[in-house]
Every structure is written in structure tokens, then in C-alpha cells.
Amino acid sequence: MNRADQQYLTIIKDILEYGYYDQNRTGISTYKLPHKMMQFDLSKEFPILTSKFVGFKTAVKELLWIYRDQSNSVIKLQEENVHIWDEWMKEDGTIGTSYGWVVKKYNQVDKLIESLKNNPQDRRMIMNLWQIPHLDGGSLYPCAFMTMWDVTDGKLNCMLVQRSGDMPLGVPFNMTQYAVLVHLIAQVTNLKPGLFTHVINNAHIYENQVEGMKIQLSRGEAPEPPTLWMNPEIKDFYDFTIDDIKLLNYKHLGKIKMEVAI
């Protein structure tokens, strides 16, 4: 089975069997477990679920919106037929002082790339979207909020820390898009992709998603993972477009419709 599915579905089983049931800010109860983790060697595999369909292009478009465009404009996403932020759009068409706005405010991508190129053994290479003065100005506190970076033996390693993980809908996107980010940053810094570790502080399944997760668990063996292709000619991070990042031979067991909690 696809290693991404193995690790992901193990967490899903644990939550459904042992999860703590309680209320939260959305009004839809969850089953949750703290401190769940997945880890992938990106030199050997690309982590995307195949036990269900994951919208790879949509996930990558959101990633580029945050880190390449460093934008908070929901309208810009809508122009690319991405509607995952529609429910959080403010009257001005943005999500306020969150995500890409914070990346740009503190010039986080350029600082990371500079350190990776010039001081790769720096132990302070962090991109942090959890900037306290700006949290309340955003539509939503960032969920996948911090990446910590390391270079070991020419390989770029990344740990993603996520405060809150909607396991059925959000986490499949996050695990895939941040794996892509590691590949992108590695290419423009002349490094090889290494470990990608995904830590989720609050891993939860909403009550109205349980049946969908049971369907996913009941499916047969997930197909082997696809291969990530990136345009090898791109040397500047800001030159990547969605057409430069593709999945080859993505086979999956089909879509599962579930609701998002606002």
C-alpha cells in the first residue's frame, strides 16, 4: 500500500476508535487525538493519498498563492477556479492579515532561501505564520503555521507543524502541498529533497465526516503513489507556475464527498 495511505489511515483508525469527543468553535463536534505525526522520505516517495482522490492542482495553486504570490486575495484564487477560501472572504475580497500576507510582511521565503544557500547549517531556519500582532486581523488563525528547515548531507529536510488538522479534508491537502514546497525550495537551492515530517497538534474528524472516513477505510488496497515532475529549468522560486509542477501516473480509488466545518 501507498505509505502515505498507511500512515494517514492508521491515524484515522486511532481517532475513530480512541478519539476524544467534544465541542469546538465550529459548533460541529469532533473526535480528536493530540500529537499525531507522519514522516516521508521525499527522495523515495511523493506523499499523496490514493485511497481517495486529492485535488493536487488545487492544493498546489493554494501553496503558490501563499508562498510565491504571498497574497491574501481570495479573488485572485477564484480567478484560478480555486474556491477553498470563499467562506472566509472578507468584504474587501481578502482573508486579511493571514497566510500569504504574513509571509510577505516578514520576507520569509527570501530569508529562508538566502540561509539555505549561504548558511545551510543555520539552526534558525523557520517560516512562521503565527505572528501574534496580526492574528486577529486575519479571517482564520493559520492551521499549518510553521515550517522548520534543516540541511543534512546535501538533503533538505522540513518539519511542518500544524496546530489544527481536519483529517478528512485539510490534512490530505497539507501533506501534499508542503511536500511540493520542499521540492521547490530544494530545486532552487541546489539541494536534494530529504525528510518531510508532518506534526499535527489536534488531529480531528468532524462528526458529519465519520461515514466518509469509514468508506475510505473500507476500500481495497490503495494504488502505488505517483511521481512528482517539476520543470528542471526553473532556478528562481518565483518563476514556478502550476504548469511546472505535475503528477505523473496518479491512480486513486475515487472521490469521497464530505463537508467542511466553518
Digit-coded pLDDT (tens) for 196-227:
999 999 999 999 999 999 999 999 999 999 99
pLDDT at 1 over 80: no
Q: Are 41 and 194 in contact (CB under 8 A)?
A: yes
Please report the pLDDT score of residue 131 as a whole number. 98
Give the number of other Cβ atoms within 10 Å of residue 6's Cβ: 12
Band of pLDDT at residue 259, cut at 50, 70 and 90: confident
**pLDDT of amino acid 91:** 97
Instruction: Provide the whole-model pTM.
Output: 0.97
What are the distances in angstroms from CA 247 to CA 54, 65, 83, 198, 232? 11, 19, 21, 21, 14
Q: What percent of the chain has pLDDT over 70?
A: 100
The amino acid at residue 254 is: G
Query: In the prediction, which pLDDT does 83 show?
Result: 96
What b/e string do you get for 28-67 counting C-beta neighbours within 10 Å, with b at 16 or more? Answer: eebbbbeebebebebeebbbbbbbbebebebbbbbbbbbb
- In the chain, what are the domain boundaries? 3-248
pLDDT at 261: 79
Q: How far apart are CA 180 and CA 229, in angstroms?
A: 10
Q: Is the pLDDT of residue 262 over 80?
A: no
Architecture of the domain whose range is 3-248: 2-Layer Sandwich (3.30)
Residues 39-59, mean pLDDT to the nearest whole number: 98
Cα 70–chain centre separation? 16
Residues marked as catalytic: 143
What tens digit of pLDDT does each residue of 173-200 get? 999 999 999 999 999 999 999 999 999 9
pLDDT of residue 258: 86
pLDDT digits (tens, 9 = 90+) for 9-42: 999 999 999 999 999 999 999 999 999 999 999 9
What whole-number distance in Å separates Cα of residue 180 and Cα of residue 35? 23
Contact between 53 and 215 under an 8 Å Cβ cutoff? The reply is no
Question: How far apart, in whole angstroms, are the C-alpha atoms of residue 18 and residue 148?
Answer: 30
| Helix intervals (H) in 106-149 | 108-118
Q: CA-CA distance, 22 to 29, in Å (whole number)?
A: 6
Instruction: Find residue 85's DSSP bridge partners.
Output: none
